[in-house]
Amino acid sequence: MIERLSFVTVTVKDQDVALRFYTEKLGFEKRRDYHFPGLPRFLTVAPRAQKEVELVLIKAGTSNVQPASGGHTGMVFWTNDCLRDYEELKGKGVHFTEEPKKMPFGIQAMFTDPDGNLFALSQSIDA
């Protein structure tokens, strides 16, 4: 039986640029960085407190990965203070496409990585 989700892939143009964005701007930590002969570089990051799921920063055009095109990833990063984190991330140069706004479930802002991949930063109504 399936036990858990372990990796989610984000297609990027340059893994080193993406690594700097996710670690230096979002505050994630690098978890894995493997270079196996004949295979694409396997590079993962995750929020420091997130132990179960890691983002795989895969270079577009390697193996069977489609080209980077940006667009909504469907991924939502949870925070207990959306307004605070919005201001902090914006101050670090993170590009927000939508400022925090009240939604039926809480507060949400939208931001992109350097490749145009779109993410939500969300605070639950009960946080």
- Range in 26-30, 61-65, 93-97 with the lowest mean pLDDT: 61-65
> What tokens does 89 get?
């991330």
Cβ neighbours around 23 below 10 Å, total: 13
- List, in order, residues 6 or more apart from 113 with CB less than 8 Å away: 10, 12, 18, 21, 22, 119
Residue 70 to residue 64: CA distance in whole angstroms:
17
Judge whether residue 95 has pLDDT over 80. Answer: yes
Residue 89 to residue 109: CA distance in whole angstroms:
11
Q: Quick one: pLDDT at residue 65? A: 61
Instruction: Kindly state the percentage of the chain with pLDDT values over 90.
Output: 75
Judge whether residue 63 has pLDDT over 70. Answer: no
Q: Quick one: pLDDT at residue 78? A: 94
Instruction: Kindly state the percentage of the chain with pLDDT values over 70.
Output: 94
Judge whether residue 79 has pLDDT over 90. Answer: yes
pLDDT band for position 67 (cuts 50, 70, 90): low
Q: Quick one: pLDDT at residue 39? A: 84
In CATH, 7-59 is 3.10.180.10: yes
> In the chain, where are the structural domains located?
7-59, 71-124
Residue type at position 44? T
> What tokens does 127 get?
């946080």
In the chain, helix, strand, coil percent, each to 5? 15, 45, 40
Task: For 71-124, give the CATH class.
Answer: alpha beta
- List, in order, residues 6 or more apart from 46 with CB less than 8 Å away: 28, 29, 31, 53, 54, 55
Over residues 31-50, the mean pLDDT reads 93
